[in-house]
Amino acid sequence: MASDKKYWQSVEELKGSSIVETLSKNEFVEELPSDEFLGDKETLENSSTSRRDFLKYVGFTTAAASLAACQGPVRKAIPYVVKPDDIIAGIADWYATSMADGYDFANVLVKTREGRPIQIMPNKEADGTTSARVQASVLSLYDEKLRLKEPQDKEAFLTWADADSKIGAKLNELKEANKPVVLLTGTMASPSTDKVIEGFIAANPNVKHVVYDAVSESGAADAFMAMYGKRVLPNYHLENAKTIVSFGADFLGDFHGGLEKKYIAGRKPEKGYMSYHVQVESNMSLTGANADKRVVVKPSDQVFALLNLYNAITGANVPSKATSVDATIKKLASDLKKAGSKGVVLTGLNDKNAQLISLAINKALNSEIIDTKNTLNIRKGNDAEVAQLVSDMKAGKVSGLIAYNVDPVYSLSNASDFSEGLGKLEISVALSTEHNSTTTLMDYALPTPHFLESWGDAQFDSVTYGLMQPTIQPLFNTRQVQDTLLKWSGDTTKYYDYLKTYAATNVLGGASWNKALHNGFFKKDLSLEEEGEVFESTVVISDIASKLASSAKKASGFELNLYTKTGLGDGKQANNPWLQEFPDPITRASWDNYLMMSMADARELGFSNPVKDNGAINGDYAKVSVNGVDVVVPVMVQPGQAIGSVGLALGYGKTFGLKEEMKVGVNGYPLYINGNNIQYGVTIEKVSGTHKFACTQVQKTIAGRHDILKVASLKEVVSSVDPKHSWNKPAFVSYDHQEVEAKSIDLWEEHNREVGHHFNLSIDLSSCTGCGACVIACHAENNVPVVGKNEVRVGRDMHWLRIDRYYSSEVATREEAKAMGLSGGDLYKAIETEAENPEVTFQPMMCQHCNHAPCETVCPVAATSHGRQGQNQMAYNRCVGTRYCANNCPYRVRRFNWFQYSNNKEFDFNMNNDYGKMVLNPDVVVRSRGVMEKCSMCIQMTQATILKAKKEGRAVNTDEFETACSSACTTGAMVFGDINNKKDEVAALAEDKRAYHVLDYLQTKPNVVYQVKVRNTNEA
């Protein structure tokens, strides 16, 4: 039933901690610091005087407090003397382009204001998607701290002419002597750039191109090469799948670039069917959190489970070993065989043999879900070639190195060998957008532009050809790598002309260049391409299985699963404050990585995460040792982590060139030996020290309230004709000694809302994966400030939109277990099972824009009021910061602006320098200290849509209204619109049988409506 489970956000809630109880009753975890109210941050933090006492003591009037709270900085605007022809002041321009930074690849739309890119959205016409990192990359454009600005050698800055002369002379010398030079790049997925590199190698035959990805999927590419003859990654049509089984492949995260859009397209309960998804994993991943069934095993057992699945499906008897989940694997084999060509198996183990077993299973199923024709051209790094390069450099067998946008000194496990090899080169050149640990050791560092300043193309898969165009003039004295290589090849062609010619000759087939550039993409027809020779694979599965089983049988000690976070990825954007402050969807921690450990292992080894009375979480340190490499890292106890395994995120621990505030976390790459994301034989030792986490999992929680979440099975949804009396029960209250529906009783008279627009936002919990792209989109659109680790730690984050992560327990306490008749071992097993493998549900939570808003009735100065269009509005210059509205909000979505976050050296993020301010949206005010702020339902966007329609003399089109979060949502979980326009999609969703309001028994009548989460329990 929908409301029978208990939902909890932290282990402390599961235990019934008194601290959590205290926090749940205290809206603000610390007293408002009012001593020297206009003083500095340090003094404020140490104060405990209440605001009321302070105002009494000083004699402030409300007017005086209002004046202090609302005073804003003086700004001087300089108008255009001569207005540019292509710019209309105050009107946004949108450009279609593509992002390819070596780790993230996306077809996107870029919003510019007066020539400044300020926001990125998915190019949905190209089936583009965006992640939190893609959304945040617009801020990285303005990173004045880290970006390379001028060509330079180890002595001084250079002109481009001097750099070309010196480097060109040395390259010619090495070519004449036939001394080997290596061009080291990340994956670019750019066919025209590949052609440029071919020309460069033709002009310099002593050059070899090596592709290096910091986070490798080399095993998958090597396996595909062995099986199908092409070194690419397979594509997956998960929208057509009936049964999906994944062995540690986080395909809703970073595996193969993320497949969330296709995955959710196959999980629409309104169609009457959903794919059945089982995740076999050790770390609690984003994909595992969304699975219908999650099987928790340590990595070595994943290997054996994969082999056992192969045996069960094919009838073979390859070497393996029994596991504790063999009964489940046998059932999965049956489900997959029943699904047949609609079944698919994926594995995230970066091991060629494991990937080959996965491909062999899909072949045995004759799977149509795996696509071996429209393949993916991302993640082309070659671990073997990179290892050989490092070995050759150390042995002095390489004379020159040209590196483009890679940082092996930071991200290689054997970085010391690489650094030693650099010292033996005759010339080393770094072509890079930013300063990093590698560029500083090179002979020359040449600045390249950000992708938003660049021309280019991208072939992410075999069908979609994306184009890249500059959306701003170069901020610094940069030059594209393609122009540099053309020049060093002796080719005087400008890359723009080269690109245009390449596209016309090889891709467009007579289609318009301008149209393709305008759209940002061109779709190729694969059916028109000639079939190549059929590749005959020589793979012998029994041999492959023997090697795989042999390596797993050597497993001993703890097993380490290295992974990437949804927020920071491989660490390329580690200096991006939006991403650092972004709470991890699973742990809810920001500004950190940590060693994830199961509750059982933590108890045995003595690790804990005590919660302080201000909501802050602490942790112990562990020394993690792998093959003689030691790393000291804080421990986070994680429900759902496999016993005997630990997890650690890559991408943290950068220090070179970063702002002090960004130098957080621990570098996990030294443990990433041979590019293998699984490391065996790990030892863990508790060491002294206490770590301070910035974790929001026990802050602003509304866990424990009734009807926050409603979850139903697919069988219930399909079979039930009366959801209001089964899985989607409305709230009932007692009236006149009878139980009646809460919505039939009201304290207020309804306003007439039939005239004009009435905005609603629908959020489908079945489609929300918790990825967080909406959180960063809201940051960018609404100028949400970054507050830093210390402020987040004590509950002062300013996110207007948060994604609550809930665990669910059937049995939460000993008392409940005893009431069910459980005792002894059964009692403890029932309690512990939920913590070892809880179900997870994500719920985006923002201002609910209540039609009967409790915040509006308590504001003493009418700073918050209700608009005719359904939005709860904030007049910032009225607000005096009493915080009554926040205390009266049952959803805990209002944020108090404790400090002046802009133009304040205490908060040295993007609002404290001229470059960082270029990302600010001029349509939204930058709030001053002392006011409340919250989600506005993007009122500036709705008003712009209305004004555009008015100017064009028409009604607003169906589904034309959007918010930042709904625009950014890859899966379509968020739908925004006007319920007074019955053709708008949201109007039907608001009346859907799955629709419900959070805390509906309060009858606040929100304009945010949720759709009940549906899980396929494989019963329907």
Contacts of 14 (CB under 8 A, 6+ apart): 8, 639, 807, 809, 812, 834, 835
> If 0-12 CB within 10 Å is exposed, 13-18 middle and 19+ buried, where does residue 490 land?
exposed
Q: Is 77 exposed, middle or buried (0-12, 13-18, 19+ CB in 10 A)?
A: exposed
Return the bridge partners of 761, or none. 976, 1008
Instruction: Give this prediction's pTM.
Output: 0.89
pLDDT score for 37 = 41
User: Model confidence over 204-250: pLDDT tens digits?
Assistant: 999 999 999 999 999 999 999 999 989 999 999 999 999 999 999 99
List, in sequence order, the alpha helices (H) in 659-765.
714-719
Buried b (16+ CB within 10 A) or exposed e, 432-454: bbbbbbbbebbbbbbbbbbbbbb
As a whole number, mean pLDDT of residues 89-105 equals 89
| Helix, strand, coil share (%) of the chain residues, nearest 5 | 35, 20, 45
For the beta carbon of residue 971, count every other beta carbon within 10 angstroms.
21
3-state secondary structure of 716: helix
Structural contact between residues 763 and 954, judged by C-beta atoms closer than 8 angstroms: no
pLDDT at 39 over 50: no
What value does the mean pLDDT take over residues 527-547?
Answer: 77
CB 132 within 8 A of CB 776: yes
What the block records as the tokens of 871 is 């939005």
pLDDT at 759: 94
Long-range contacts of 79-84 (CB under 8 A, 24+ apart): 84/115
668-679 as b/e: b if 16+ CB within 10 A:
bbbbbeebbbbb
Closest of 590, 998, 968, 581 to residue 798, by C-alpha: 581
Higher pLDDT, 58 or 634: 634
Q: What is the pLDDT of residue 1?
A: 45
Contacts 24+ apart (CB under 8 A), 170-176: 170/400, 170/426, 170/427, 171/204, 171/400, 171/427, 171/488, 174/206, 174/399, 174/400, 174/426, 174/427, 175/204, 175/205, 175/206
Contact 213, 100 (CB under 8 A): no
Q: Which residue blocks in 273-431 are alpha helix, DSSP H?
A: 286-290, 299-314, 326-339, 352-365, 383-394, 408-411, 415-422
Does residue 55 register a pLDDT over 50? no
Q: How far apart are CA 317 and CA 296, in angstroms?
A: 24
Helix (H, G, I), strand (E, B) or coil at 373: strand
Question: What was the pLDDT predicted at 1000?
Answer: 86
Sign of CA dihedral 733, 739, 741, 743: negative
Q: Which residues in 123-228 belong to E strands, given as ranges?
A: 152-153, 181-185, 207-211
Q: Report the pLDDT value the prediction gives residue 4, as an integer from 0 to 100.
A: 61
pLDDT value, residue 703? 63
pLDDT at 35 over 80: no
pLDDT value at 684 more than 50 = yes
Q: What is the pLDDT of residue 447?
A: 95
How far is Cα 110 from Cα 139, in angstroms, rounded to an integer?
A: 12
Backbone torsions φ then ψ of 201, nearest 5 degrees: -70, -35
User: CA–CA separation, 1020 vs 718, rounded Å?
Assistant: 8
- Residue 553: band (very low, low, confident or very high) from pLDDT cuts 50, 70, 90: confident
Exposure letters 250-283 (e unless 16+ CB within 10 A, then b): bbbbbbbbbbbbbbbbbbbbeeeebbbbbbbbbb
Which pLDDT belongs to residue 60? 44
Mean pLDDT for all residues in the chain: 87
Statement: residue 949 has pLDDT above 60: yes
Look at the chain and count its residues. 1020
What is the rounded average pLDDT of the residues 778-801?
91
Residue type (1 letter), 622: A
Burial call 984-1005: b when 16+ CB within 10 Å, e when fewer: bebbebbebbbbbbbbbbbbbb
Secondary element (H or E) of residue 11: helix 11-15
Contact (CB, 8 A) for 882 and 860: yes
Work out the average pLDDT over 659-667.
Answer: 90
The amino acid at 255: F
Q: At residue 702, does pLDDT exceed 80?
A: no
Q: Which helix (H) or strand (E) holds 620?
A: strand 617-626
Strand 645-650 relative to strand 293-296, pairing: unpaired
Q: How far is CA 839 from each of CA 449, 500, 805, 1011, rounded to the nearest angstrom?
A: 44, 51, 10, 18
Closest CA to 912 of 71, 147, 142, 148: 142
pLDDT digits (tens, 9 = 90+) for 884-907: 999 999 999 999 999 888 888 888
% residues pLDDT > 90 (the chain):
64
Whole-number pLDDT of residue 48: 56
3-state secondary structure string across 483-523: HHHHHHCCCCCCHHHHHHHHHHHHHHCCCCHHHHHHHCEEE
User: What phi, psi does 6 have (nearest 5°)?
Assistant: -95, 130
DSSP SS3 for 6: strand
646 CB contacts (<8 Å, ≥6 apart)? 558, 559, 560, 561, 595, 596, 597, 601, 624, 682, 684
Query: How far apart are the C-alpha atoms of 330 and 533, rounded to whole Å?
Result: 37
> Which segments of 366-478 does DSSP mark as H helices, in order?
383-394, 408-411, 415-422
Separation between Cα atoms, residue 790 and residue 773, nearest integer Å: 24
Q: Please spell the DSSP secondary structure of 944-978, one letter per residue.
A: HHHHHHHHTTSPPPTT----HHHHH-TTS-EEEEE
In the chain, the amino acid numbered 259 is L
Which range (37-51, 78-92, 441-455, 794-808) has the least confidence? 37-51
Higher per-residue confidence, 840 vs 28: 840
Least confident of 61-70, 119-128, 534-543, 951-960: 61-70
Distance between CA atoms of 610 and 617, rounded to whole angstroms? 6
Q: What is the pLDDT of residues 136-187, one digit of tens each?
A: 999 999 998 899 999 999 889 999 999 999 999 999 999 999 999 999 999 9
The pLDDT, as a whole number, for residue 2 is 54
What pLDDT is stored for residue 1020 in this prediction?
A: 44
Say which amino acid occupies 15.
Answer: K
- For 390, the token pair is 């490092």
Secondary structure (3-state) at 185: strand
Query: pLDDT value at position 910?
Result: 86
Percent of the chain topping pLDDT 70: 87
Distance (Å, whole) CA 134 – CA 99: 8
Pairwise CA distance, residues 679 & 659, whole Å = 32
pLDDT digits (tens, 9 = 90+) for 287-325: 999 999 999 999 999 999 999 999 999 988 888 888 999
Q: For residue 271, name the pLDDT band (cuts at 50, 70, 90).
A: confident
Within 13 Å and on the Cβ side, how many CA atoms surround 302? 35
Summarize pLDDT for 460-481 with one digit per residue, the tens. Answer: 998 999 999 999 999 999 999 9
Hey, how many other C-beta atoms are within 10 angstroms of the C-beta on 179? 15
Distance CA 1007, CA 966 (A): 14
Residue 703, Cβ neighbours under 10 Å: how many? 19
Return the structure tokens found at 219.
């095993």
- Looking at residue 913, what is its pLDDT? 87
Residue 93 has pLDDT above 50, yes or no: yes
Type of residue at 639: P
* Per-residue pLDDT, 42: 55
Mean pLDDT of 370-384: 92
137 Cβ contact partners less than 8 Å away, ≥ 6 residues apart: 99, 101, 104, 120, 451, 452, 573, 576
Ranking 62-76, 337-351, 465-479, 732-746 by mean pLDDT, the lowest is: 62-76
**Beta partners for 122?**
108
Express each pLDDT in 716-768 by its tens digit.
888 877 787 788 888 888 888 888 888 788 777 777 888 889 999 999 999 99
pLDDT band at 24 (very low <50, low <70, confident <90, very high): low
Residue 887, judged by CB atoms within 10 A of its CB (0-12, 13-18, 19+), counts as middle
In 10 A of CB 31, how many CB atoms? 14
